[in-house]
Amino acid sequence: MSFSEDFVFCLKPRCPVCRQGRLFKPFTVEAVEKCEKCAAPLGLHDVGDGAAVFVLFVLCFSIIPMAWAVELMFAPPFWVQILIWSVVGLAMVGVMLPSSKAYIILLEWRHLKRDMED
């Protein structure tokens, strides 16, 4: 599997084994206990805060320079800046957090599956 295939796979998080069952419980980013299609034990994966830290770094290093650039070019009112960057930030979190957690689980499954089967 290539990185581009993994990237596309993580945009719509599915089971890393069969690639058909849902990876997360509805409206959360918590992994399901078992895949509904192949019964793979997905609840054993403990991603912890790794994905959240990654998303935080990306957001901080991207949104703040963009907000600063908009301020310097257009000088909108403060409430417009808050509105714009709150929406952009929440949208980025909504896409990046499940995707990054799915990628970490995919990597864990690929490289640590021997340890989880024991």
Half-sphere exposure of 72 (CA within 13 A, CB side): 6
DSSP lists the bridge partners of residue 31 as 24
Stated length of the chain: 118
Contact yes or no for 13/99 (Cβ under 8 A): yes
Q: Where are the domains of the chain?
A: 3-117
Share of the chain above pLDDT 70, in %: 94
**Residue whose tokens read 């799915």:** 102
Nearest-5° angle of CA 76, CA 77, CA 82?
95
**pTM confidence score:** 0.82
pLDDT at residue number 113: 61
Contact yes or no for 110/16 (Cβ under 8 A): yes
- pLDDT at residue 114 greater than cutoff 60: no
Q: In this structure, what is the dihedral angle of CA atoms 101, 106, 108, 113, given to the nearest 10 degrees?
A: 150
pLDDT of 40-85, one tens digit each? 888 887 777 888 898 999 999 999 999 999 999 999 999 999 999 9
